[in-house]
């Protein structure tokens, strides 16, 4: 991850971080230009997933199938079994 000084635009570095939660971190930053010397606080936060992790999809799918009635499960498995995959 690259970070740039908000004062002069030169590259900066993260000198330390404080994890507030797993999805929210405070980043203490310094400008690498000795003439500038700017220090600042940035925030890094999780917003949302673009694609859920594969494990979660598998878990959700199994859970959804288990919540179906036996007849619905049987119908689903028959439909999947009769599909031709390329």
Q: What is the pLDDT of residues 16-74, one digit of tens each?
A: 999 999 999 999 999 999 999 999 999 999 998 888 777 777 788 888 899 999 999 89
Count of domains forming the chain: 2
User: Which residue from 19, 12, 17, 37 is spatially nearest to 27, judged by alpha carbons?
Assistant: 17
Greater pLDDT, 10 or 53: 10
Q: How confident is the model at residue 47, as a pLDDT?
A: 93
56, 36: one domain:
no
Q: Give the domain extent around 62.
A: 48-86
Strand partners, 24: 21, 45
* 5 within some domain: no
Q: How confident is the model at residue 86, as a pLDDT?
A: 55
SS3 33: coil
Tell me the pTM: 0.59
User: Which residue from 63, 65, 60, 66 is spatially nearest to 79, judged by alpha carbons?
Assistant: 65
* 30 within some domain: yes
Greater pLDDT, 84 or 1: 1
**Is the Cβ–Cβ distance between 15 and 37 less than 8 Å?**
no
d(CA 53, CA 50): 10
């Amino acid at each position: 991850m690259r970070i740039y000084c908000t004062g002069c635009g030169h590259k900066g570095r993260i000198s330390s971080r404080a994890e507030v939660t797993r999805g929210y971190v405070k980043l203490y930053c310094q400008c690498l230009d000795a003439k500038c010397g700017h220090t600042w606080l940035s925030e890094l936060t999780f917003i949302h997933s673009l694609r859920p992790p594969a494990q979660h999809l598998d878990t959700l799918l199994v859970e959804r199938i288990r919540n179906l009635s036996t007849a619905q499960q049987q119908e689903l498995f028959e439909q999947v079994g009769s599909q031709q995959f390329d």
